[in-house]
Structure formats: C-alpha cells, structure tokens
Amino acid sequence: MVEIKKNLPEISKNIKVLAKKSRSRLPSHEDGYKIASKRVFRPIDYMRCAEFVAVLRNLKIEPQMKILDVSSPQWFTLYLAAKYLETEFIYINITDDQVKPYKNIAESLGIFNLTYFKGDVRKLDFDTDAFDKVISISVLEHIYPELGGDEEALLEIKRVLKPEGELLVTVPYKAIHNVVYKNGAVYERGENKRNFYAREYDKETFDMLIESCQFAFEKELFICEKKGFLSKDFYQFGPGKSKWFSKYLIKSLNLSERILQHPFDEALAERYLEISENINHRVVNVFALLKKVAA
C-alpha cells in the first residue's frame, strides 16, 4: 500500500509556493493570475491527491531525460520542472486555454526547461522514440471519438516513447464499464449538443486496451475510496450522487471552505483515499506503469 500522507504535503507545499510566486509576478487581469490564485487556496484537488502521489512514487527522473506530459493537470508538471531543472519537460494540450495561461505562469517563475505546445495526442508532432517517459493523468478517458480515441492516443504515445521508456497513466476505473456524456461543449468539441465526455474503464476494457496497443504492465495500483460521511467522490460522482442530501453535503462542504478560508481536499484524501495493489474498497481510479512490448 502507498501512503498518501508521505508525499502529499511536500507536493502540496511546493505547488502552493509556485502559485504564490506566479501570482505576485503576473498582472491581475491575466488568466494566469486567476489560475495561480486558485492554487494558492487549493494546491491539489481531492482525487488528484492520490493520482499525483501514485505517479510520483513510480516516476524515476534523471538529468538529461526528455519527458512528455499529455494534458495532465498542469501544476503537477510545473512542480516537476521546477524540481528537476536538468530534465526537459514538454507539455501538450488540445485547447488554447489550457496552454497559453500556463506558459505565462512558467515564464513568470523562470521555469525554462518546460515547453508548452498545443497538440493532439492522436497525431503528435514529435519524432519516433523521442521521449524517456510519458505522463498522462486522467486524460485517456476523454479522448474522442468514443470508440477508439483512447487506442489512437496510446498507439501514438507508443511511437514517440523510446524502446526502454515508460508510460505512467491514470484513468477512471470502476467495477462496471461506463461511458459518461455531457450536454454542451467538451474540450475541443464545441457543439452545443449531447457529447461524449469520458470512459470509465473496468478490468476487462482497460486490460484489453493496454494489450491491443502492445504495452505491458510493470505495475498496477488501484485508487479506492473508503466509506464515510465525507467520502467526497461517492457523493459527488459515485453512487451517492443519487441520494437526496448529496448536493447539500457538497454545497455545505464548499461553503465551509469559503467561510474558514481553508480547503479540506487534502485532509479528506488522506482519510478516505487508498492506493493499493488490491481493491479493498470502492475502486475509483487506476494507476499503471507501462512499457512497450518488444517487437
């Protein structure tokens, strides 16, 4: 079992320091200022607490490595780039609003070993065998089209990953496979209609995806949520969402944060989230360390 509380305070503290510095250096009218201000208050969101720790504990970084981040939550990459100055990081995202503000944040912090590109993971503009590591936190599940988008992405990641390289990925993982739809625009798709939003994998669909793209599991860890009155994912996105009091519970939690000026996500994550090789509670996400299968 991976102890969240062993790594979480260090990640959170460093993200908060970066956010404070960036906010002090950016004009208040810029999007980057607003984004940094949010992270000063809440450095890491609830489920990201476990995902960041799972990835970090299995990410071995050496000087001169070249690491690609495929659209993960940006502050994790900023944290890594600020910590490992002799390593080259490249971040891609398909939407402008997820690239330009963070590029400004990185520049305000003097982080010049991190380069931002607007790009599509299904068609990467990088050479074959270019990267030592690829990171993708809660991204593959969103890639369009609903049927095959994730496979297109993984095959392209495989192409740009060195033969001995590693892919570190997290995705939603449930007892039963599910597809989530959303009314309105979704990422690069601006159509005002019912759109595909995300896949929720189960063991069969996730294993089939990894095998079909010719990756092999080096490690697999499950992120589970324990039962409790403040099991946030259960009431916000899980089965508890249908309970009559769930929306009032989440609203009360958010209101309390504003009144007390103190976020609860990290404390709740330490209490309710577990990272383990076994599924001991309600499974929510999975982390996988993957390597290319030799041809």
Q: How confident is the model at residue 267 (pLDDT cuts 50, 70, 90)?
A: very high
Residue 187 pLDDT more than 80?
yes
Residue 28 pLDDT more than 90?
yes
* pLDDT of amino acid 3: 86
162-186 pLDDT per residue, tens: 999 999 999 999 999 999 999 888 8
* pLDDT of amino acid 47: 97
* pLDDT of amino acid 176: 95
* pLDDT of amino acid 192: 75
Average pLDDT, the chain: 95
* pLDDT of amino acid 193: 81
Residue 44 pLDDT more than 90?
yes
272-289 pLDDT per residue, tens: 999 999 999 999 999 999
- Boundaries of domain holding 79: 4-292
Residue-by-residue DSSP string for the chain:
-B-HHHHHHHHHHHHHHHHHHHHHHS-TTSHHHHHHHHHHH-SS-HHHHHHHHHHHHT----TT-EEEEES--HHHHHHHHHH-TTSEEEEEESSGGGTHHHHHHHHHTT--SEEEEE-BTTB--S-TT-EEEEEEES-GGGPSSTTTHHHHHHHHHHHHEEEEEEEEEEEEB-SS-EEEEEES-BTTB--SSEEEEEEEB-HHHHHHHHHHTTEEEEEEEEEEE---TT-HHHHHTSGGGGSTTHHHHHHHHHHHHHHHT---HHHHHHHHEEEESS--SEEEEEEEEEEEPP-
Residue 190 pLDDT more than 80?
no
Q: How many domains does the chain have?
A: 1
Per cent of the chain over pLDDT 90 is 92
Residue 261 belongs to domain with CATH number: 3.40.50.150
192-227 pLDDT per residue, tens: 789 999 999 999 999 999 999 999 999 999 999 999
